[in-house]
Amino acid sequence: MRVAGAMVAVGALMVVSACTGASDNTVAPVGATGSTTGVTGSTAAPTPDSSADPVTIPTEIDPGTTTSPVDPSGPSTSDSTVSTNPADTTTSTTPPPPPVLPAAKVSAAPAFGTVDLSPTAPVSVSVSDGTLVSLTMTNGEGTVVKGSLSADKKSWDLGEDLGYGKTYTVTGKAKGANGKTVAVTGSYQTVSPAEEITTSISPGDGATVGIAQPVIVRFGFTPEDPDAILKSMKITTTPKVEGAWAWITHDGDDSPSLDWRPKNYWPAGTKVHVESNIYGVKFNDSYYGGDNVTSDFTIGRSQVVYADARTYQIIVKQGCTKMNDPASCTKTVATFPASYGMGDDPDSRYGLKPQFVTRSGIHVVLDKQTEVKMQLPGYYEPTMEYFAVRISDNGEFIHQNAATVDQQGVRNVSHGCINLSPESAEAYYNSAIIGDPVEVIGTSVKLSAADGDLYEWAIPWKTWLSMSTLSS
């Protein structure tokens, strides 16, 4: 019987010796001492007889283990080859589904459907996850309203003011990242005011005025939000001039005006541009601003009258650059004997009487007329005076008074005006323009709001700066 050599896997390689002798066939582990053949109890290994019957060497084999014939050339790996080449490994995967691209999302500010919209309110339509293909706003008559599409086509902005009490329709298309087009549609309705407020600006277009002339913007209405009105005002000067707005109530007005004056006198030759951009501005729930108004005027030559009641004269200077500073002027053009109000003279026919004191402070030329009928009930009858230059609304003029020529230059005898001779009055009248300052000093009563227009220059600059709100 033929016996194949057995492979015993017991944790160490064993050498199996097949012998013809039956008396000594012990199997020794490799590396055991006493024999180079690994067989104990003999000094020489017998030569196997090829004709002898094979001897079976019993081994303990796990019944559940399959054995294979031993290859004399070494262990075989043919039945358990593992490839490390990635190309020999096949992995089966399912590709992910393509991403779902979003549709265009359109929004508007203010939201579509807004009513009582100010006609000057900004309107914008924008799209996310896409672009605007087209967008149009039209009024009730079908007229297209101006607007602009951004370079990236993601927004549209209104480009002009709307009208009061109108409905506007927005239509268009937007294309989403998913390639699909969605419709854009919406509407707005603007407010319908009960009345529109009108604006007047002084000085008016083309006027040339003196270096003390304030800007006066009248509305004829007291706004609920003065700051909103203030923000709608704009003034541009060439060269640049420091100044500020203040709320002032003028003579004969029931509501305040916005006045702008420089910190110091205007530089001669200044170009002034004023804008009242109140269209669409809310004055209250029923009243909104009407049409915008502008004015462009020029500051003329610099001329100041220096009037010291204690010297009984007035001095006319030009080229002046600073308030209350005769030294800032470049030349004197005239000196005229004068007579001021008698109210500071205890020896006058009425004694000390503040009513008849010429007010100290910076007056402004308001008007001039060649003939004015003047009267003061209880003191004198209507009298025609000539070459009259009004410097306040409390009745103060620089004018001709032939009846006081003998006192001019000597004593103050008027009821508050500055009297000049006919020749002096005419000369000054011809040199004066509206807006010229007249600086009066040397009297006991100061110019104030109680004297009416114009008292802007009697207000200290710090106080003026605090008057930009109606609560101040």
Contacts of residue 285, Cβ cutoff 8 Å, sequence gap at least 6 = none
Res 36: pLDDT: 36
Decide if 165 is inside a domain: yes
Residues 174 and 228 in one domain: no
Residues 148 and 227 in one domain: no
Instruction: State which of 189, 217, 246 marks the end of a domain.
Output: 189
Residues 309 and 281 in one domain: no
Decide if 442 is inside a domain: yes
59-92 b/e (C-beta count within 10 Å ≥ 16 → b)? eeeeeeeeeeeeeeeeeeeeeeeeeeeeeeeeee
**Active-site residue, selected from the candidate residues 320, 363, 399, 415:** 399
Active site includes 399? yes
Decide if 413 is inside a domain: yes
Give CA–CA dist 45/111, Å, rounded.
109
Give CA–CA dist 168/181, Å, rounded.
23
**CATH number, position 248:** 2.60.40.3710
Residues 309 and 410 in one domain: yes
pTM of structure? 0.75
Residues 164 and 64 in one domain: no
Decide if 96 is inside a domain: no
Tokens of 329: 């002027």
Res 90: pLDDT: 55
Res 92: pLDDT: 62
Decide if 85 is inside a domain: no
Residues 343 and 451 in one domain: yes
One-letter amino acid for residue 388 of the chain: A
**CATH number, position 445:** 2.40.440.10
Q: Which domain holds residue 50?
A: 1-76
Res 74: pLDDT: 46
Instruction: State which of 137, 165, 189 marks the end of a domain.
Output: 189
Residues 67 and 115 in one domain: no
Decide if 469 is inside a domain: no
Instruction: State which of 275, 298, 321 marks the end of a domain.
Output: 298
**Active-site residue, selected from the candidate residues 19, 320, 329, 417:** 417
Decide if 345 is inside a domain: yes
Active site includes 417? yes
Q: Is residue 451 within 8 Å of residue 366, measured between CB atoms?
A: no
Residues 247 and 294 in one domain: yes
3-class SS string, the chain: CCCCCCCCCCCCCECCCCCCCCCCCCCCECCCCCCCCCCCCCCCCCCCCCCCCCCCCCCCCCCCCCCCCCCCCCCCCCCCCCCCCHHHCCCCCCCCCCCCCCCCEEEEECCCCCCCECCCCCCEEEEECEEEEEEEEECCCCCECCEEECCCCCEEEECCCCCCCCEEEEEEEEEECCCCEEEEEEEEEECCCCEEECCEEECCCCCEECCCCCEEEECCCCCCCHHHHHHCEEEEEECCCCEEEEEECCCCCCCCEEEEEECCCCCCCCEEEEEECCCCCECCCCEEECCCEEEEEEECCCEEEEEECCCCEEEEEECCCCCCCHHHCCEEEEEEECECEHHHCCCCCCCCCHHHCCCEEEEECCEEEEEEEEEECCCEEEEEEEEEEECCCCCCEEEECHHHCCCCCCCCCECCCEEECHHHHHHHHHHCCCCCEEEEECCCCECCHHHCCCCHHHCCHHHHHHHHCCCC
Tell me if the bond preceding 239 is cis, omega within 30° of 0. Answer: yes
Decide if 81 is inside a domain: no
Residues 178 and 201 in one domain: no
Residues 363 and 439 in one domain: yes
Residues 313 and 417 in one domain: yes
Tens-level pLDDT at each residue, the chain (472 residues) = 333 343 333 333 333 333 333 334 443 333 333 433 333 333 344 444 444 444 443 444 444 444 444 444 444 444 444 445 545 555 668 888 888 999 999 999 999 999 999 999 999 999 999 999 999 999 999 999 999 999 999 999 999 999 999 999 999 999 999 999 999 999 999 999 999 999 999 999 999 999 999 999 999 999 999 999 999 999 999 999 999 999 999 998 999 999 999 999 999 999 999 999 999 999 999 999 999 999 999 999 999 999 999 999 999 999 999 999 999 999 999 999 999 999 999 999 999 999 999 999 999 999 999 999 998 988 988 999 999 999 999 999 999 999 999 999 999 999 999 999 999 999 999 999 999 999 999 999 999 999 999 999 999 999 999 998 765 4
Residues 276 and 345 in one domain: no
Q: How many domains does the chain have?
A: 4
Res 62: pLDDT: 44
